[in-house]
Amino acid sequence: MEQKSEVKSGELKMADNAHQQTTDELRRAMGTLPELNVEDKDTAIHVGVAGITAELIDGPRNPYRTIVEVSTATWGDEAFSNKWDKISPENRFKIVKAALSGQTLPQAIEPVIFAFTIRGASRSAFDQHARARLQTFFSQGCRDNSRLGAGFRLPSELSPENGGDQKLYNDVIAHIANFKDLYQRILKTGWGSFQTARCLFPLGATHNYRFASNLGALKGYMAQRLKACEQADTCYTAICIWNEIYDRFPLIADHLRPHCDVISRCDYHSASSLSELFSALFAGCGRHPDPVPYATFNKSCSSYEQMEKEGGKRIPGPGEWKNYTEYSQLVESDKVLFNEQ
């Protein structure tokens, strides 16, 4: 005779003992207690890039001092004294400018490290960011937290306000609601856990994370992810990060550019490259002329104008970069740092 097992809600029922209570109190104080929501399945629907934010957690107070000291470190006598105080602000600027533009040893900008919190990007945008090398990531767990309350990010073109089909949009919203129902049922039925329920999680769900990056790696990341040949929220996440840097260190931000602006031409398509045999789904974005049009979908992957409309932030256009050549051109906040004693 087949024996039926008792249905339990085992993994959401906490162990009841003194050690559990003491540990949970400590975790609550540290902010490491799992999110245990199994009831609230309301889903915030984000269209395009609306609601994505980047917050600078921490970074150097004066990155220019560090860059000057390490860039000049391979010269000097046995005393090996620091050189910042011996150099004029104008010459400090020249050293930093050389380092930022790749005219010193490349590691001269690597000791400058920033840490950010990213909120509201999709899981697919996180995945695209995490593929960037030499950066460190800490993302909100889907295995050790309930993500029943996660939002969902829809591409702009699916929204009826942007010309999308209303019935299709309604069906997508219904699909999201059904996914949340199934997720909740897994958590509340049998031995369901967050680990079990995450098998349903789609790439459009919002996925919050933190990351840390040295300036050299950040420069490489920006060169690729600031380009509109990237998915909109992938690109807009980089735009938000750029604005956080710009608000504090305009000179550094001026050197964090999409690679197409660095070389003054579209590099998504190239007649001399074999990369199109493996990629190039979309047409060029129009930021620079497309020399050899080729695309699976004959439209731009993303639009700077649409992203600014939805999210409110932008980066300079190809002809708007400052290209600081003289100390006198610096923004006052940067001059203050170069003048520090």
pLDDT given for residue 12 in this prediction: 60
Angle at 279 between CA 255 and CA 139, to 5 degrees: 60
Q: Is the pLDDT of residue 5 over 80?
A: no
pLDDT in tens, 38-89: 899 999 999 999 999 999 999 999 999 999 999 999 999 999 999 999 999 9
Report the pLDDT value the prediction gives residue 8, as an integer from 0 to 100: 42
> How far is residue 63's CA from residue 214's CA, in Å, rounded to a whole number?
11
The answer to whether residue 275 is domain-embedded is: yes
Q: What is the number of structural domains in the chain?
A: 1
In a domain, 187, yes or no: no
| Helical H segments across 36-88, by residue range | 63-71
**Is 32 inside any structural domain?**
no
**Domain-located, residue 266:** yes
pLDDT digits 0-9 by tens, 151-201: 999 999 999 999 999 999 999 999 999 999 999 999 988 667 899 999 999
Percentage of residues in the chain with pLDDT exceeding 90? 77
Residue 216 forms part of a structural domain: yes
Q: How far is CA 135 from CA 122, 130, 199, 226, 254, in A?
A: 19, 8, 27, 16, 21
Q: What is the CATH number of the domain that holds 101?
A: 3.30.1360.170
Expressed as residue numbers, the domain containing 108 is 53-140+206-338
56 against 271, higher pLDDT: 56
Three-state SS at 281: coil
Domain-located, residue 167: no
pLDDT in tens, 107-158: 999 999 999 999 999 999 999 999 876 799 999 999 989 999 999 999 999 9
232-248 and 215-225 are packed helices; what angle lies between their axes, rounded to 10 degrees? 140
Q: Measured between alpha carbons, how far is 54 from 193 in angstroms, rounded to an integer? A: 30
- What pLDDT score was predicted for residue 204? 97
Domain for residue 22, yes or no?
no
Look at residue 132 in the predicted model and tell me its pLDDT.
76
